[in-house]
């Protein structure tokens, strides 16, 4: 035989459970604190672009977001290569040029628009080491 619980007892129990659980919810919950910190703390990976240089191509995303951007450039080819970006009043090159297996980084403050990225080593741009980068 089942016991019947009066409806009022169920409501009181539910009210106590809610009151008890809310007492631990005073202030900020971890999830809302995480959301706020994520919005104010920039994502390091977001402003970073991996670039691979080889004979005769540049491997990197075709578009990135605007703002301070660090291009992490690695020469995975056999020849010496360089990395340069031009557009919207910017012309910056990675120095020195990279020999086989070397890497370097170039930081640029990108504004929305289209940029030309290329290898400035004589003849490399003409041989295909060039691409358009769209900044949104």
CATH architecture of 48-135: Sandwich (2.60)
Domain boundaries, the chain: 7-40, 48-135
Please give the structure tokens belonging to residue 46.
């977001």
Please give the structure tokens belonging to residue 19.
């009151």
Average pLDDT, the chain: 78
Tens-place pLDDT, residues 75-86: 999 999 999 999
Which pLDDT belongs to residue 47?
A: 87
CA dihedral 115, 121, 127, 128 (to 10 degrees): -30
**Residue 86: phi, psi to the nearest 5?**
-135, 145
The DSSP secondary-structure symbol of 136 reads: -
User: Residue range 39-54: average pLDDT?
Assistant: 67
Please give the structure tokens belonging to residue 56.
């005769």
Which pLDDT belongs to residue 63?
A: 95
pTM: 0.66
């Amino acid at each position: 035989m089942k016991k019947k619980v009066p409806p009022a007892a169920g409501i009181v129990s539910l009210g106590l459970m809610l009151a008890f659980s809310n007492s631990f919810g005073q202030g900020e919950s971890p999830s809302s604190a995480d959301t706020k910190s994520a919005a104010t703390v920039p994502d390091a990976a977001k402003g970073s672009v991996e670039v691979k240089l080889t004979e005769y191509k540049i491997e990197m995303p075709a578009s990135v977001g605007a703002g301070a951007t660090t291009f992490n450039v690695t020469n995975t080819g056999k020849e010496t290569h360089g990395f340069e970006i031009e557009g919207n009043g910017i012309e910056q090159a990675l120095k020195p040029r990279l020999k086989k297996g070397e890497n370097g980084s170039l930081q640029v403050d990108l504004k929305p628009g289209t940029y030309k990225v290329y290898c400035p080593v004589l003849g490399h741009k003409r041989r295909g080491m060039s691409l358009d980068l769209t900044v949104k």
